[in-house]
Amino acid sequence: MLLRDALFPLIVFLHALLIGAPANHGRGRFARATYGVRRVGQLPTKLRESSGLARADSLQGLWSHGDGGAPARLELVALSGAPLRTLDLPLLVNVDWEDLAQDRAGNLYIGDFGNNRNQRQDLAIYRLHPGAGPLPVVDTIAFRYPDQHAFPPGRGRRNFDCEAFFWHADTLHLFSKDRSLRQWTKHYTLPARPGRHVATLRDSIRLNRPITAADISPDGRTVALLAYGGVFLFSRQLGQRLFDGPKRFRALPATGQAEGLVFVNDSTFVVSNEKGKLFRATPR
């Protein structure tokens, strides 16, 4: 890892402190809610730098994986972090796995789309069902961004890294991590089916913080975008683009460099950080 990549989270965090989060507006579900955050567990040491979380079918456990360069495997853990199962995926390579998503059929989606230097041309999302035997069939959703034409682009245009996505209604929703320090987040969509696809750029918004994970509540009404220092909560509005709806920023104290987020019910979510600590955030 280059020194500038290692220092990027610190640089962006200081940048966000100086600029601040964008003003909250609208009267959504979270207009007055604050979040109580408490540590609930520790992921196993073999799960190096947890970078994604997804619900297990029973909602009693969580799937996670390591960051880029870690072994190509998924770990099933209890909400306390205690290990329950290891699913090795020897036919895959963890180039830069950054997030996990799950559909209603229980399929998991692994986002191999980390792109720190904005030069990858092998971006992919892997789909599999964890209950389909010791070596599940893996489908590949290969894709590219419609607005990237240089690999890498100039330093002021490097907004093609991604660490956050979720599944909803047979569509994958991806959110960029801007490495130009302008801190614009772009929202792309992809069909949740195997093949080679060109992502569709839906919208963009300046959040002043890099986005490191995403999920949608089970009732489909709330989208959470995890950032350094807190979370942005968007209320989905029928017929509107996601970023047009009411949004709120809520600080998540003491969570450190958080990299994974998953809803466990319609208002409560669990966050993991790069040190493997698990936190539960509950509105109050």
Q: Which two tokens stand for residue 280?
A: 């539960």
- How many other C-beta atoms lie within 10 A of the C-beta of residue 231? 26
Residue identified by tokens 């490191």 is 212
For domain 19-283, give the fold: Neuraminidase (2.120.10)
Whole-number Å distance between alpha carbons of 118 and 151: 6
Enumerate the H helices of the chain as residue ranges.
Answer: 3-19
Give yes or no for residue 114 having a pLDDT over 50.
yes
> What's this model's pTM, rounded to 2 decimal places?
0.90
Whole-number Å distance between alpha carbons of 180 and 61: 36
- Could you tell me the residue ranges of all domains in the chain? 19-283
Whole-number Å distance between alpha carbons of 162 and 175: 6
What are the tens digits of pLDDT across the range 47-97?
Answer: 878 999 999 976 579 999 999 999 999 999 999 999 999 999 999 999 999
Q: CB of 190 within 8 A of CB of 145?
A: no
Would you say the C-alpha torsion 180, 278, 188, 148 has a positive or negative sign?
Answer: positive
What are the tens digits of pLDDT across the range 14-26?
Answer: 544 444 555 444 4
Name the DSSP letter for residue 183: -
What are the tens digits of pLDDT across the range 168-197?
Answer: 999 999 999 999 878 899 999 999 999 999
